[in-house]
Amino acid sequence: MTLDRSTYIQFFDGGVEPQHGLLGGKCASLVSLTAAGMPVPPGFAVTTALYDGFVDQSGLAATITMLLASLDVDDVACVDVVSLRIRDEICSRPVPSHLRAITIAAYEELQSRFDHEVPVAVRSSATAEDLPDASFAGQQDTYLWLIGLDAVLEKIRQCWASLYTSRAITYRAKNGIPDEGLSMAVAVQKMVNARAAGVAITMNPATGDRSKITIDASYGVGEMVVSGQVTPDNIVLDKVMLSVVSETIGDKHAELVPDLESKSLVEREVDPERRQRRCLSDAELLLVAAMAKRAEKHFLCPQDIEWAVDADLPDGDNLLLLQSRPETVHSSKQAVPGSAPSSSSTSNFNLSSIICALTGVQPKL
């Protein structure tokens, strides 16, 4: 059986219609956003088919089935032992050579787009049914600022291994989710040299007001914002007019920035002057908001995006979209976009509500 490369590897800008089952949520979203013309940093997905090929052809699938067969999920210590064993196997068992070659070729193709070797990020891209809810913190693995093929290959395996954390095993067992067909895609993406980064939600999560965009922003790479290690600047904008409704300058005491010597990310203290001012200019703020709005328009539901301002790119081209996923907390209170308004006549006005507004008195029914 010969399968074409796109079964195993898909570049975000490859122009292939994203299949959720093959790419996982994150990669499918990145492909879709790239196709929509959003400024997504280049990268590729290592598909679930490649993972499937690995576990099937290496005999790992059988090992995993055997290890899980006798597991008592209420025995926490036992679960931990089994989890560790499976993850060790995933990280150490040889990957069939043709799959390994395909992955290496993709990595080299990505690097060939740049003058010199660029650092990349490796992130897991789960197919949602297999793992706890997307907003279930800690399930999505992210490895930043990786340089060199070996590090990348190692982290891809670690993403795969995250399918079998103790927590994930227990979750599936308790929710009756079968392990058959369980798979994982992985995103390999050029690392952004983030001067500032953060998240943006296309609503006000505090009130459920969908006419707002809420932005959390801090210096450096956005991980510290996502994981709550810094107090970011918090800005609420009107989504329609793109004007600032309120803003709170956060302390932003630290930033995660690349260290050229150690070739890794290091946490650095932010000096007081930079802490006191907003980390985004007015223009950047509007660009982030406009990007979030575009993402929402693209996916037709409220989005939670991650973005970064790249220090190496020129103004106007330096805002990048790292991911966009549906906002899940308020999803029950959604309006139906685009339904036609009723005619703007005066026939259906409601005087009692006008009186209520004028007098503050509820009208009698």
Partner 1 sequence: MTLEVKTKSFPKPSELAVPAGAEGWEKLYPYNLVFQNLSGAEDEKFWFCDSQHWPTVFKPFETIGGEFAVKCLGQYNTRHLMIPPANGIEFKIHLGYLYMSPVPVPEAEIPNRVPEFERRAGHYFQNWDSMLEGWRTKVHGTIDEMESLTFEPLPDMVPFEDIVSGKAKDGSEVLMENFDRLIQLCYQNWQYHFEFLNLGYIAYLDFFGFCKEMFPGVPDQAIAKMVQGVDMELFRPDDELKKLAVLAIELGLQSSFENTDDVAGTLERVRAAKDGARWAEAYAAAQDPWFNFTVGNGFYGHDKYWNEHQEIPLGYIKDYIRRLEDGHDIMRPVAALIAERDRIIAEYRDHVDVEHQAIFDAKHGLAATAYPYVENHNFYIEHWTMGVFWRKVRQLGAVFVDAGFWSAPEDMLYLNRGEVRDAIFDLVTGWAVGSEATGPHYWPTEIERRRGIFDALAAQRPQPALNTPPARITEPFTMMLYGITTEQVQQWLSGDDAKSDGSITGMAASPGVVEGRARVVTHADQIGEVQEGEILVASITAPSWGPIFGKIKATVTDIGGMMSHAAIVCREYGLPAVTGTGRASTTIQTGQLIRVDGTSGRVEILEG
Distance CA 258, CA 62 (A): 41
Report the residue from 66, 69, 77, 336 that binds partner 1 according to the rule CB under 8 A.
Answer: 336
- CA-based angle 310:316:321, to the nearest 5? 50
Question: Considering only residues 270-329, where is the footprint of partner 1 by CB under 8 A?
Answer: 282
Question: Considering only residues 149-208, where is the footprint of partner 1 by CB under 8 A?
Answer: 204, 207
Distance CA 222, CA 203 (A): 20
Report the residue from 123, 239, 252, 275 that binds partner 1 according to the rule CB under 8 A.
Answer: 239
Provide the total of helices (H) and of strands (E) in the chain, helices listed first: 11, 13
Report the residue from 244, 251, 256, 279 that binds partner 1 according to the rule CB under 8 A.
Answer: 244
104 or 354, CB closer to partner 1? Answer: 354
Distance CA 289, CA 199 (A): 10
Question: Does the protein bind partner 1 through residue 2 (CB under 8 A)?
Answer: no
Question: Does the protein bind partner 1 through residue 345 (CB under 8 A)?
Answer: yes
Strands across the sheet with 319-326, in order? 244-248, 233-238, 212-219, 194-201, 303-310, 319-326
197 or 280, CB closer to partner 1? Answer: 280
Question: Does the protein bind partner 1 through residue 65 (CB under 8 A)?
Answer: no
Instruction: Mark the segment that binds partner 1 (CB under 8 A) among 4-12, 43-51, 175-183, 339-347.
Output: 339-347
Question: Does the protein bind partner 1 through residue 362 (CB under 8 A)?
Answer: no
Report the residue from 245, 254, 290, 313 that binds partner 1 according to the rule CB under 8 A.
Answer: 245
Report the residue from 105, 109, 354, 362 that binds partner 1 according to the rule CB under 8 A.
Answer: 354
Alpha helices in the chain (DSSP H): 20-35, 48-57, 60-69, 76-92, 97-111, 149-161, 166-174, 223-226, 272-276, 282-299, 351-359
215 or 230, CB closer to partner 1? Answer: 215
Question: Does the protein bind partner 1 through residue 97 (CB under 8 A)?
Answer: no
181 or 337, CB closer to partner 1? Answer: 337
Distance CA 135, CA 304 (A): 11
Question: Does the protein bind partner 1 through residue 59 (CB under 8 A)?
Answer: no
13 or 238, CB closer to partner 1? Answer: 238
Q: What are phi and psi of 303, to 5 degrees?
A: -120, 155
3-state secondary structure of 154: helix
**Residues that bind partner 1 in the complex, under the rule CB under 8 A:** 204, 207, 209-212, 236, 238-241, 243-246, 282, 333-339, 341-355, 357-359, 361, 363
